[in-house]
Amino acid sequence: MSAQYSAIDPISLLNWTMTEIAEAIPLPVNWEALQQYALRLRQSQWQGRTSPSFSTCVLLPQYTMGGLHLVRLIEFDDGKRWVVRIQLHGGTHQSSQRLIHEVHTLSFVCEKTHFPAPRVFGFKSTTSNPVGVPFFLMEFIPGNTAMDAFGGYDVHHGEIPAEYKSFLIQQTAKIQTDMASIRFPKIGRVIRRSDGSHAVGPFPDLGGPFSTAAEYFKAWAPYAKFPMSESQQHRRLPKGPGNEIRSSIRDFPRP
């Protein structure tokens, strides 16, 4: 890594929003409680022989969001940064189980693969907590998504710049190969047992685990809704290529 690149703050590479979050995202989030939770959690995990090198933390103004989550950064006064991932539509049993599944899956991926994957430090899966929303705190790994990199979709229009294309494809292939090496005997959601080991559990609503792909698709088919409503598409599709994707959905042959 060059000295020039090392001097660049990873935050400056993120193509994230800087508008006032309270106006853009009307969520009942107690941001102060979130900061206090993060501070207490990191203090409880401190393993140094001396006192912790930090005493406060702040939420940085940058944020990004998709159809299901709002993401912000927490910065401690020693320079350490964590990511907070907040559910936009939490509060149901299904959304709670989905968050727990995400936490367990990230734990499993960190344990079984070799590519950078964020460690989860703590989470709350329901709205019954001082922060007021389901969320989890995880490691900040500097980088960006391909969609947001290179100036964002408005600049690259979905085309990888030629000088980065070979490297990006190679790295993507390595990650996919690493992920494909993970095997379970059945199809289901990753669950973490009390002893720290992982297994396959049932899907909410669908049941399982399933022994074959045919069994899984048979259980999934009654719940498959196509197309999504316009409002769901708007929430879940990324900016930029969203209009093109919606057009493809409208043109898709119906039975």
The overall average pLDDT reported for the chain is 88
Residues spanned by the domain of 24:
3-139
Average confidence (pLDDT) over 141-161: 83
pLDDT at 29: 93
Q: Residue 198 falls within a domain, yes or no? A: no
Quick check: is 203 in a domain?
no
Is there a domain that residue 91 lies in?
yes
Last residue of a domain, one of 139, 155, 188: 139
Strands 120-124, 81-87: parallel, antiparallel or unpaired by DSSP? unpaired
Instruction: Identify whether 170 is part of a domain.
Output: no
pLDDT digits (tens, 9 = 90+) for 185-223: 999 999 999 999 999 999 988 999 999 999 999 999 998
Task: For the chain, give the percent of residues with pLDDT over 90.
Answer: 56
Per-residue pLDDT at 5: 42
Q: How many domains does the chain have?
A: 2
> Which pLDDT does position 195 carry in this prediction?
94
Whether pLDDT at 67 is above 80: no
Structure tokens at 60: 């940085």
pTM, two decimals, is 0.84
* Domain endpoint, select from 139, 168, 189: 139
Q: What is the CATH number of the domain that holds 116?
A: 3.30.200.20
